[in-house]
């Protein structure tokens, strides 16, 4: 099914039958992606005394409880409420779900013993393009990301000036295949988060950060339409399912 989308006075065609899912599935397994020092997610049938809510246990239904942390256990989208005392809900702040997006592959650079993504790298990759969303795929890019155990590994992260650059470019939605845009252990400075959401100026309440995505290697760098789907949970972050569509005109 070919759909025509009018976006910012221009019309584009996308094939709705060819979605590209860049989310990670949530699995009740020690092999599920994990960060921030928490236990693996759990998906277990509810119980009532000796009754177990699973068909294989004799019940007429499967009725599972799910225990997970959105920041640690898979693809999630967060708002500025993640770093502020005042409560802000992603479900209240994200009200638009289709965006003009650019997929950009970056190779983190070594700086003072860390692998980082710099302003210079983003400037080179984005150039004069104006995009609502930037999707960063880091290399190496292997299926091991789907089961990576990130705690205590000091993964790559964005430098503060890179986040400022994206903010000043007007990028409202940043998606990345890492557990955080900030350094794992930075004494809670969260420099890139604060810079991207502009906490020292006018808060960007409608800006989001999506972490722990996975962009398959078959997806070329370039321009796409992004459908950023979130679960309707009143929290600073929620599991999400970003979907890309190629532009065919």
Q: What are phi and psi of 93, to 5 degrees?
A: -95, -25
What class does CATH assign to 2-36+70-246?
A: alpha beta
Is the pLDDT score of 9 beyond 80? no
Is the pLDDT score of 249 beyond 80? no
The predicted-structure confidence for 170-227, as pLDDT tens digits, reads as follows: 999 999 999 999 999 999 999 999 999 999 999 999 999 999 999 999 999 999 999 9
Q: What is the rounded average pLDDT for all residues in the chain?
A: 96
Which pLDDT score is estimated for 172? 98
Overall average pLDDT of the 119-136 stretch: 96
Question: Measuring CA to CA, which residue among 39, 41, 47 is closest to residue 64?
Answer: 47
Which pLDDT score is estimated for 160? 98
CA distances from 171 to 102, 133, 208, 227, 244 (A): 10, 6, 10, 15, 17
13-17, 26-30, 169-173, 243-247: lowest mean pLDDT where? 13-17
Token pair recorded at residue 169: 């470019």
Is the pLDDT score of 25 beyond 90? yes
**pLDDT confidence of 8, banded at 50, 70, 90?**
confident
Overall average pLDDT of the 145-171 stretch: 98
Other Cβ atoms less than 10 A from the Cβ of 167: the count is 18
Token pair 């020092």 is at which residue? 37
What whole-number distance in Å separates Cα of residue 53 and Cα of residue 242?
31
Which pLDDT score is estimated for 6? 80
Helices 160-168 & 119-126 angle (0-180, nearest 10): 30
Which pLDDT score is estimated for 2? 86
Q: What are phi and psi of 163, to 5 degrees?
A: -70, -40
What whole-number distance in Å separates Cα of residue 246 and Cα of residue 165?
26
What whole-number distance in Å separates Cα of residue 89 and Cα of residue 105?
30
DSSP letter at 34 equals: B
The predicted-structure confidence for 50-107, as pLDDT tens digits, reads as follows: 999 999 999 999 999 999 999 999 999 999 999 999 999 999 999 999 999 999 999 9
Using a pLDDT cut of 90, give the percent of the chain over it.
Answer: 93
């Amino acid at each position: 099914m070919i759909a025509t989308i009018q976006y910012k006075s221009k019309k584009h065609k996308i094939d709705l039958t060819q979605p590209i899912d860049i989310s990670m599935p949530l699995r009740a397994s020690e092999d599920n992606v994990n960060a921030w020092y928490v236990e693996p997610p759990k998906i277990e049938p509810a119980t009532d005394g000796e009754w177990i809510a699973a068909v294989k246990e004799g019940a007429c239904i499967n009725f599972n409880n799910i225990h997970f942390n959105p920041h640690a256990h898979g693809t999630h989208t967060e708002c500025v409420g993640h770093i502020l005392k005042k409560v802000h809900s992603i479900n209240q702040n994200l009200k638009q779900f289709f965006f003009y997006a650019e997929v950009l592959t970056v190779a983190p650079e070594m700086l003072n013993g860390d692998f980082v993504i710099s302003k210079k790298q983003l400037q080179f990759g984005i150039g004069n393009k104006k995009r609502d969303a930037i999707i960063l795929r880091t290399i190496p890019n292997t299926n091991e990301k789907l089961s990576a155990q990130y705690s205590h590994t000091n993964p790559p992260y964005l430098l503060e000036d890179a986040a400022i650059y994206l903010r000043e470019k007007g990028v409202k939605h940043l998606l990345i295949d890492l557990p955080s845009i900030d350094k794992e252990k930075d004494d809670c400075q969260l420099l890139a988060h604060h810079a991207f959401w502009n906490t020292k100026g006018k808060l960007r309440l409608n800006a989001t950060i999506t972490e722990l995505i996975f962009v398959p290697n078959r997806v070329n760098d370039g321009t796409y339409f992004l459908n950023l789907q979130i679960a309707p949970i009143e929290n600073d972050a929620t599991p999400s399912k970003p979907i890309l569509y190629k532009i065919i005109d």
